[in-house]
Amino acid sequence: MLRPTLLDVFGITNLELGAAYSVYGVVAMAAYLFGGPLADRYPARVMLTVALTSSPSTLAILYGYWGITTIALFWAPLIRATREWGLNFSQSRAFGLLEGGRGALAAVMASIMVVLFAALLPDDSETAGLAQRTESLRWVILLLSAMTCGAAMLIWLALPERKAPAQATASLSDIVRVFAMPSVWLQAAVILCAYVGFKAIDDFSLYANQVIGLNQVEAARAGVASLWIRPFAAISAGYLAERLGATFMIIGSFVLLAAGSAVLASGAIGAGMVWTFVLTIVFTSIGVFALRGLYFAIMQDGKIPMEHTGSAVGLLSVIGYAPDIFMGPLMGYLLDRWPGAAGHNYVFSVVTLFAMLGLIASCIFAQRAQLQTAL
């Protein structure tokens, strides 16, 4: 959302920022495997609270630190708690509400940050000096830190304490059994391809600035517009999946993602085409956020045992969130190597390719799930 300003304030290139993202991704890969079995053993209430209060140097070290606190202690417990909650009504609706709630908070916070960011800059943001932009970014970071601490307090007070039974502790043989399931690997491929699309959303504001010709504040607002799609797309997808099936909705979402990213990759959108750009990112965002609301909901279709949810989430996340390692540097290289529209076209060409691969993986998963149900 504030990518253009972040590059200026820290005095870094797109590739250097991508490398910092990659540090986060590398640390996260180990943290996913480590945190998965922990989620099967320890209460989510404790792990989630510790993770948030531990997330208050250099940019790379900071991203590495976030990789530990937000993954090893946070991610698998969050998914397990959501899956257990969804047993009372619907997995699709539970995960849709999870992603929708996260998205609603992100959109509200992003809107507040843009208002705060704009208020601390002169009316013509392009005339703002580096000191002014640095001070604006500092206040945005302080606001995010305060919200994170508030979320930790809310989790501790609101989430019921769960004591995992002894049999919930996954043995090595149980973990190996889960890792041997073909449905787990297909689901991991679905997550990976969808997550490539999610990582590319980070380019929306820069695309708006460098290709469409919007200033930094207007470009940030374009990025926020995408975030407001998140709660509506995720929650709607969750409810629709109850009627149509989660796998069917995932297939349709990949079609939307592939179509939207193909338009952005084609070079058909140029300077001044604001509304065409906005409509394109709306449809692309619907595909991305519907996928995020559903790609963990299909664990039930893949016959993954509830007691080994954490271990499965570890493997799914190691593969599925691998774009945390390679997409940042890849996007940075493409944007720096081919400045302007060409670099952005190449970025969304990559997204289109992965969306097509995700479409294939989701079709195979749906076919296997249907056969397992018939048996």
Q: Any idea which of 36-45, 119-128, 286-295 has the lowest mean pLDDT? A: 36-45
- The domain spans of the chain are 3-159+168-374
User: How would you class 78 by CB atoms within 10 Å of its CB: exposed for 0-12, middle for 13-18, buried for 19 or more?
Assistant: buried
The pLDDT assigned to 58 comes to 47
Which pLDDT band holds residue 185 (cuts at 50, 70, 90)? very high
Question: Residue 250 pLDDT more than 90?
Answer: yes
For 275-284, what is each residue's pLDDT tens digit?
898 899 999 9
Give percent of the chain with pLDDT exceeding 70. Answer: 71
Q: Tokens 């195979």 sit at which residue?
A: 364
Q: Choose the most confident range, by mean pLDDT, from 86-95, 97-106, 268-277, 286-295.
A: 286-295
Identify residue 10 by its one-letter amino acid code.
F
Question: How many Å apart are CA 185 and CA 320, to the nearest integer?
Answer: 9
Question: Residue 306 pLDDT more than 70?
Answer: yes
For 31-87, what is each residue's pLDDT tens digit?
666 655 655 665 655 655 555 555 544 444 555 555 555 665 676 777 877 887 777
The pLDDT assigned to 6 comes to 62
Into which CATH architecture does domain 3-159+168-374 fall? Up-down Bundle (1.20)
The pLDDT assigned to 20 comes to 66
| Alpha helices by DSSP H, the chain | 3-10, 14-41, 44-53, 59-67, 75-86, 91-119, 130-158, 172-179, 182-200, 204-207, 216-244, 246-266, 274-294, 309-320, 323-337, 341-374
Q: What DSSP character marks residue 87?
A: T
Which one is predicted more confidently, 278 or 16?
278
Full DSSP string of 13-62: -HHHHHHHHHHHHHHHHHHHHHHHHHHHHS-HHHHHHHHHHT----HHHH
The pLDDT assigned to 104 comes to 83
Which one is predicted more confidently, 234 or 300?
234
The alpha carbon of 39 is separated from its chain's Cα centroid by a whole number of angstroms, namely 20
For 17-27, what is each residue's pLDDT tens digit?
667 667 666 66
